[in-house]
Amino acid sequence: MLDMKTFPRFLIAMTCLSMLSPYHLGAEIVLDVAKLGESLGGWDSKGGKAAVYELSASDYRTYKPETTPSPEGGIFISVRIDHVRGLFASNDFATLEMTFGANGELTSTQSSIAIQGRKITSDVIRSGANVGKGEGAVGGAVKMGGELVASLTEKLSRENVVEAGRVTFPAVVRHNYNLIFQAVSRVVAAPVPLLPEKTPAKPGTGLEIKK
């Protein structure tokens, strides 16, 4: 228990420590939606809510991702991707989910593809790839992305899919996965100085006015 006789000295010590560390730094994980849109060709579809592009001679549409902060300070990202099959054909669609921890670690990812009412879902891929940490982070992300596509491709092959745009759908998911990973960053907030409280002036130290 703190002795009340020593409390003033304890308070002074804590004040000195705060003066030695004058900045409080915070950080958050953010997705640069504008950067992601540029990499997909621009958010020019669906009233600025989606991007349309061509891969392997097929058309696809990616919608702006939905982001949700996690209680631990990280971020959960969910994005929908359409396989645009034509005017009189029903589109296929996929979902991609990516979870980042508070330190920028890509902790898990999963995807699903729906084709004519049939839905396949990949395994949950878990690992630890940190954004902004050099080749180790990129290597971890590449490994997770490879495992994600392998899981989707293996399960899609059981459905006897032959249409070109459907066969390449896992690769399109991987394309979006790569671009999202590149658009996520750990942003450090501007430093806020912790200033000590003003000490009240002692009596008699002010300017005296003679009457």
In a domain, 14, yes or no: no
In a domain, 177, yes or no: yes
pLDDT in tens, 118-160: 999 999 999 766 665 655 667 888 999 999 999 999 999 999 8
Q: How many domains does the chain have?
A: 1
SS (H, E, C) 117-151: CEEEECCCEEEEEECCCCHHHHHHHHHHHHHHHHH
pLDDT in tens, 38-62: 999 999 999 999 999 999 999 999 9
Residue 111: domain span = 25-190
In a domain, 195, yes or no: no
- Strand 75-84 and strand 92-100: the pairing is antiparallel
Average pLDDT, integer, range 81-108: 94
> Distance between CA 211 and CA 206 in Å, rounded?
15
In a domain, 50, yes or no: yes
Sort 181 into a burial class: Cβ within 10 Å, 0-12 / 13-18 / 19+. Answer: buried
In a domain, 57, yes or no: yes
The pTM (predicted TM-score) of the whole model is 0.76
Give first-to-last CA distance, the chain, whole Å. 53
